[in-house]
Structure 1
Amino acid sequence: MRMTANGRLWRPGNRVELLENGEAFFPRAFAAIAEARHEILLETFILFEDKVGNELRQHVIDASRRGVKVEMTVDGYGSYDLSEDFLSGLTAAGVKFRIFDPHRTLFGMRLNVFRRLHRKLLVVDGERAFVGGINYGCDHLEDAGPLSKQDYALAIEGPVVADIRDFVSTAMHANDNGHSWSQPDVELPAAMPGDARALFLVRDNGRNSTAIEHEYRAAIRAARREIVIANAYFFPGYGFMRELRDAARRGVRVALITQGEPDMPFAQLAARMLYPDLVAAGVAIYEYCRRPFHGKVALVDDDWSTVGSSNLDPLSLSFNLEANVFVRDRAFNQRLRQSLDGLRQRDCRRIEARALPRRSFWRTLVAPVFYHAQRRFPTWAGLLPAHTPKVVLVANDEKQDS
């Protein structure tokens, strides 16, 4: 088994399937929950009280009533407005429901912006796992209209599921602030469900704080022919940018897909500040314009890919709790490439060098200041007094710390 620089093991023998958007993800996830025999562990950033959230709720209630152990954790920022009726139905059925870092709004504003639980993980019976960027809400279905999101997830079977299950179970019974997960020893079964090697990595605020970024950067440095990064919020650090430019300059085809119809315009403004340097180095940049792009995926050459929750911006790389799966498999790599090629051909506009703003005194003076202020913001924010995020267990009509 190949080991990463961080000492993590790539698990052989996995079956990995790409699920594109809610139309593919929700039926598979709900079917797995409906078939559960022993255990369901679920973490998500957003759970909306809409038709998708209500369908999930009913499936886990049904599972709990037939004797399956069900534990769920949602983020207090992303899932801040769930009703008492919604929650009480879950807890009355025996579901252990936790909220990560809940806070009341102030004048309708959510203030717990940093150190959010941004992971999207589902593990059923320790045998099947789902990992990606898709939350439980109607805005991941195309029939939601022009604001529906383009996104990806993985369905996984095989030895790496044990890593994911161990992590989620451990995280649910510990306060995530500062919690660092260690990859367990896994006894490989004699029969493997597939041919893919897979690596599960998390970003936390302990010793795994740079694990996901380091795996990205190692793959970029090793690239020989092609790099495609499709990321909703793209504003990485100087080292990441340098390695992308270096790859393009040594002849690697480097393509970046970002948001053209952003749900957060400031994120697009930040990404566009990086375009001139990337295009000058030979990076091809595409903005996806059909609807908001929410994916966090990438591929390198013929056999390295990743799908997960981590954006490439200061929040995901420095604050939020994230999870990605990295895959080494030619067939999966080709499937992801086909999807991203389709986006580029049908729904993207390419950013041409001649369309970029000309260098001016304002851009020469302000752009570097803006860039470094954005990149150093996590460090500056870390100097401020910080609260300790809590995980709260919802218990019928009362809440208690877990």
Structure 2
Amino acid sequence: MKCGWREGNQIRLLENGDEYYPAVFTAIEQARQKIILETFIWFEDAVGWQLHDALLQAARRGVSIEVLLDGYGSADLNDSFVGELTAAGVVFRYYDPRPRLFGMRTNLFRRMHRKIVVVDGTVAFVGGINFSAEHMSDYGPEAKQDYAVRVEGPVVQDILQFEVENLPGNADARRFWHRRHRPEANRTPGEAQALFVWRDNHDHRDDIERHYLQMLAHAKREVIIANAYFFPGYRLLHAMRKSARRGVTVKLVVQGEPDMPIVKVGARLLYRYLLKGGVKIFEYRRRPLHGKVALMDDRWATVGSSNLDPLSLSLNLEANLIVHDRAFNHTLRENLNNIIAHDCQQVDSSMVPERSWWNLTQSVLAFHFLRHFPAVIGWLPAHTPKMAQVPPPEQRSLETQDRYDPENPGVKP
């Protein structure tokens, strides 16, 4: 499948769970035909139960629902929590569920990291927000700063086609479903151009990174990149420096209060290289940054699930929406400049580790380890991740019940 730029879309920026969850739950409540939802994390907390109840009510009124969760990120959902949904007809799948070893999750790499919701083929959501209470601003100091978009218009059909073509099952049935449920017209077309892009481990290995590189090459005035887990390869770092050196204002927002300390260690290894090239770096200090957004000049912007680190750029399944629209770009720019002004500390030379043989050795070793991390993982014994469907309770035979495990629901691979 190949996607092109689509004209006439309406795209709204959603900040944090405070804006994202009400928009998604409203769309689910209004669904009449089909809901497709995939996410990396679905926790059994207040937000998770809200999603559970919204999907359950939709299923009971006859809406067809398919859910795909990551087997690592969402490994702890209770059997009864899932069983109530499957009993109502929800098709519930896990991406690469694996049994635990001494209580530890072993499926660390090649994760399904996308966050996408499509409702009736007319409304879609793409971004970096999972379904958990930690994305709500009232969660406390550990509440995550993040973004998603609500989309209407022709690009929704590209997102829908991507989802349908990646569903397990008979290809003829998928084509029939797609023809049957294609909406005749857009309900509220807008003015935005949009392009849906994704990363997989087959034909689209570097699509998201490639669009970042093209953006940096074409920037004329300003680039702002806000990314939670920032440790890209040399090509993107070089492109950022090259853009700054020709006079473009390049701002990078990274975590200053990370949820994982190694994140700050990795990013700070790059500070000297980027600062020397003229890139302005800001550490977001208000709470953990989880966003994956960027903008260029007054039209180009992207929101999605892809970090700029070895996992997202080389191993995980990711999805971003790229937008050409002045109004959307202005909204995102105002948001990012506001957090830069009020919630960030600009990095200067005093925050860069002092030059010494020991620090230089540490930096070189850590940099090359992280840079070649995907290749190292590739040397390990590999497996092909599979999707496994959780059967509804009434379809489980005694044999099935004996071998069913919510951490490894591999009954229907």
TM-score above 0.5: yes
CA distance in 1 between partners of 2:36 and 2:263 (Å):
32
Quote the sequence identity (%).
Answer: 52
Deviations 1:18-77 (A, max 9, x none): 000000000000000000010000000000001111110111111111111000000010
Residue 387 (structure 1) shift: 1.6
In the TM superposition, 1:214-293 aligns within 5 A as 214-293=210-289
Residue 8 (structure 1) shift: 4.1
Amino acid aligned to 2:73: G
The answer as to whether partners of 2:152 and 2:188 remain within 8 angstroms in 1 is no
Match of 1:48 in 2: 43
Amino acid aligned to 1:198: A
CA distance in 2 between partners of 1:221 and 1:96 (Å):
43
Worse overlay, 366-375 or 205-214: 366-375
Residue 354 (structure 1) shift: 3.4
Amino acid aligned to 1:140: H
Residue 252 (structure 1) shift: 0.3
Please, which runs of 5 or more residues in structure 1 have no aligned partner? 1-5, 176-183
Match of 2:317 in 1: 321
Match of 2:54 in 1: 59
CA distance in 2 between partners of 1:371 and 1:158 (Å):
42
In the TM superposition, 1:129-140 aligns within 5 A as 129-140=124-135
Residue 385 (structure 1) shift: 1.2
Change (3 A) 1:343 1:174: farther
| Secondary structure class of the residue paired with 2:166 | helix
Change (3 A) 1:273 1:52: same
Q: Please, what is the CA RMSD of the aligned residues?
A: 1.9
Residue 268 (structure 1) shift: 1.4
1:390 and 2:404 matched: no
| Secondary structure class of the residue paired with 2:110 | coil
CA distance in 1 between partners of 2:320 and 2:329 (Å):
15
The answer as to whether partners of 1:258 and 1:287 remain within 8 angstroms in 2 is yes
Residue 383 (structure 1) shift: 1.6
Deviations 1:171-206 (A, max 9, x none): 22269xxxxxxxx9x999588610000000010000
CA distance in 2 between partners of 1:330 and 1:292 (Å):
28
Residue number among 72, 78, 84 corresponding to 1:83 in the alignment = 78
Amino acid aligned to 2:23: R
1:374 and 2:370 matched: yes
CA distance in 1 between partners of 2:147 and 2:100 (Å):
30
| Secondary structure class of the residue paired with 1:108 | coil
CA distance in 2 between partners of 1:194 and 1:112 (Å):
41
Change (3 A) 1:127 1:349: same
The answer as to whether partners of 1:390 and 1:401 remain within 8 angstroms in 2 is no
1:307 and 2:281 matched: no
Deviations 1:247-287 (A, max 9, x none): 01100000000001101111111011000110111111001
The answer as to whether partners of 1:159 and 1:188 remain within 8 angstroms in 2 is no
Deviations 1:121-170 (A, max 9, x none): 00000000000000000000011111110000000000000010111122
Match of 1:178 in 2: none
CA distance in 1 between partners of 2:194 and 2:17 (Å):
23
Residue 369 (structure 1) shift: 2.5
Amino acid aligned to 1:134: I
Match of 2:147 in 1: 152
The answer as to whether partners of 1:73 and 1:172 remain within 8 angstroms in 2 is no
TM-score, normalised with respect to structure 1: 0.93
| Secondary structure class of the residue paired with 1:13 | strand
1:25 and 2:20 matched: yes
Change (3 A) 1:191 1:156: closer
The answer as to whether partners of 1:280 and 1:353 remain within 8 angstroms in 2 is no
Please, which runs of 5 or more residues in structure 2 have no aligned partner? 171-178, 397-408
CA distance in 1 between partners of 2:308 and 2:211 (Å):
12
In the TM superposition, 1:1-16 aligns within 5 A as 8-16=3-11
Worse overlay, 351-360 or 192-201: 351-360
Residue 108 (structure 1) shift: 2.6
CA distance in 1 between partners of 2:185 and 2:392 (Å):
41
CA distance in 2 between partners of 1:227 and 1:108 (Å):
44
| Secondary structure class of the residue paired with 2:74 | coil
Match of 1:354 in 2: 350
| Secondary structure class of the residue paired with 2:11 | strand
Residue number among 174, 183, 196 corresponding to 2:192 in the alignment = 196
Match of 2:69 in 1: 74
Change (3 A) 1:7 1:94: closer
